[in-house]
Structure 1
Amino acid sequence: MDPFNRRTAMRAGLVIAATPLVAGISPALADVGATAFKEKWAPNPGVDGLKAFVGIEDDRANSHPSATHIFAESEQYRFVMHKSDRDGSDRQRNEVRAIQKNGARQDMKKNETWRFNYQMYIPSSLKGTSSFTHIFQVKHTAVASPVVTVSLFRSGSTESIELRLFGAGQAKLGSTPLAPLRNKWIDVEIELKVADSGRARFALKDGATTVVNASRSGIDTWLGGDQAHPKWGIYRSLGDSGQLQDTYLLLRNMKAYRDE
């Protein structure tokens, strides 16, 4: 039995839709340079649980103590967000922070190139907003700004998913419509060289179709500190309240590689 009980979230008023678990592991989106990358992290949710991550930011403001929001299930990680959850007065956050293997952190050091591959399931209830709704970040410890984010954005009635480059003024990389990617497993690949003059690549694959494969070089991806680390989950502003619903995000087949 999983150590985190989904019924807690359901008792809190969130109906969790039935979603598929494993339908086969998709290969990496791109094999360019694959022989130079070494696998550094590939957690099994049913075995490693939440110990795959250094920090668990599950309702850290204790706004909803009767519910658990982050689960390690047998084949996937589940992030739950309720409309009532708070992380301060103007935002919500249920995220995991940094990765570890056998208790040892796997951090991103300056001038290293890392690649993250995983599969993601975005339900209809997780909306793009006109303010920030991040579902992935790379951060430095003690630096307020993220390095990059994967964000769900709304302009008028159009929703998109995109990677944003904060060292380049939040420039968008690889924006594509969100609606066709909902309610199914999609493949994600994020490649990042963390450096004063670094580079980023963002790719999304829907089944056999690559819908995004965008890259940019010569951008500042090292914003300070001595390491960088990934974050996954739901981190969103309350500013576009009409789009906020009880919702969740699913991730599986998570892997991290470092270019050696």
Structure 2
Amino acid sequence: MSTSRRAVLGAALGGAAGAAVGLPAPPASAASWQLKWAPSASRDGLGAFETVEDDRANSHPAGRPHIHPTGDNWRFTMHKVDRDTSTDRQRQEVTGLRTSDSGYLKWTQGQTWRITYSMYIPSSLKATTTFTHIMQMKQPGNGTLPIVVQSLRRDGGTSLLERSRELGGGVQTIELKLAIDDILVGRTDLAPLHDKWTDVDFQIKVGNGSAGSVRWILKSGSTTVVDKARTGVDTFLADRVRPKWGIYRSLGDTSGSLQDTYLLLTNLRGYQLV
């Protein structure tokens, strides 16, 4: 992988300006992003994550491992025959940010976190008319609802690139949504991002009610294709927030888009604003 694909997006948050006459002096040090998690697929493998959900229903043993390191990348493979414990959907995901054999990072109320990484979405991983999530923010525990989802979704053909239209499905898009209150943060066409590396920069302030905020940035090479933020939003349910990555999709798609496919991630980094 090229050096440019390994670039970390985590520059420090802007510093304080010089004090002016008659105004209070700026703080001695401004808040900045502190690197807390920097795993390597080749070095840490699946030990980079808090948990691994590889065919937890044991639906396709012959396909294992569905999640594994390959060189500098983590690969998530999804077969059409794979099933989750809820048989109307599929799931191959990892969760959390592990820092040692017994330790992992916990995102709690009032904290602000940032995740940067690169993802490779092949053209076989298509947007669907129901849900296909490739990143989630959730409260840990079985049956908990998602807080934030990054999804591949068909928008009904009402916007963006008409050349992306496929029979029965509308335009393929990638979006970020606040799931608690069904708030769309941003959306862009998926087709131009297929079969290439895309850089992701996701930031979240963990807050209940209206105390939370998010920012979502996607870059393709030197081009910023999305930079959207929402403040005054709910980003907390209970306990803590834990990120998830992989492929989690419904089998209810009506566009014929479900195929054997995969997702690659690399250069995962986690920062806390301190």
The TM-score bracket by the shorter chain reads 0.7 to 0.9
Tell whether 2:45 aligns with 1:41: no
Superposition misfits of 4+ residues, deviation over 4 angstroms: none
1:70 to 43, 64, 67: 67
The corresponding residue for 1:182 is: 194
* Percent identity for Structure 1 against Structure 2: 48
Is 1:235 the counterpart of 2:248? The answer is yes
The SS at the match of 1:101 is: coil
- Indicate if the aligned counterparts of 2:55 and 2:66 stay in contact, CA closer than 8 A: yes
* Structure 2 letter corresponding to 1:201: R
CA contact (8 A) 2:113 2:272 kept: yes
Shift of residue 31 of structure 1?
A: 5.3
**1:144 is paired with a residue of what secondary structure?**
coil
CA RMSD after TM alignment: 1.5
Which amino acid is the alignment partner of residue 105 of structure 2? Answer: Q
Q: 1: distance between equivalents of 2:49 and 2:80?
A: 25
Distance 2:79 2:2 in 1: 26
Corresponding residue for residue 227 of structure 2: 213
The code of the aligned residue for 2:74 comes to Y
CA contact (8 A) 1:26 1:187 kept: no
Instruction: Report Cα offsets for 1:32-53 as digits up to 9, x if no partner.
Output: 4496111110101111110000
What SS does the corresponding residue of 1:203 show, helix, strand or coil? strand
Q: Which runs of 5+ in 1 are unaligned?
A: 1-20
Q: Unmatched 5+ residue regions in structure 2?
A: 16-30, 157-169
- Kept after mapping to 2: 8 A contact 1:137/1:147: yes
| Residue-pair matches, total | 238
Range that drifts further, 27-36 or 234-243: 27-36
CA distances 1:41-69 after superposition (whole Å, capped 9, x unpaired): 01011111100001110000000011210
Equivalent of 1:192, from 204, 220, 223?
204
SS of 1:153's equivalent in the other structure is: strand
Q: How does 1:1-260 map to 2 (within 5 A)?
A: 21-24=1-4, 25-28=6-9, 32-33=13-14, 36-67=32-63, 68-87=65-84, 88-103=86-101, 104-142=103-141, 144-156=144-156, 157-167=170-180, 169-196=181-208, 197-224=211-238, 226-240=239-253, 242-260=256-274
Deviations 1:207-231, CA, capped at 9 Å, x for gaps: 101010000000010111x221110
Give 1:109 shift.
1.1
Measure, in 1, the Cα distance between the counterparts of 2:12 and 2:187: 22
- Which of structures 1 and 2 has the bigger CA Rg? 2
Task: Note the alpha carbon deviations across 1:84-131, whole angstroms, 9 max, x for none.
Answer: 000022100000011111221111111100000000000000010111
TM-score by length of 1: 0.88
3-state SS, counterpart of residue 138 of structure 2: strand
Deviation at residue 155 of structure 1 after TM alignment: 2.5
C-alpha deviation, 1:243, in angstroms: 0.9
Between Structure 1 and Structure 2, which shows a larger proportion of strand residues? 1
Aligned with 2:47: secondary structure? helix
| Structure 2 CA distance for aligned equivalents of residues 191 and 22 of structure 1 | 25
Deviation of 1:22 after TM superposition, in Å, equals 3.9
* CA distance in structure 1 between the aligned counterparts of 2:123 and 2:218, rounded to whole angstroms: 18
Q: Could you tell me which amino acid in structure 1 is paired with residue 100 of structure 2?
A: N
> For residue 10 of structure 1, what is the aligned residue in structure 2?
none
TM-score relative to the length of structure 2: 0.83
> How far is 1:192 from its partner?
0.3
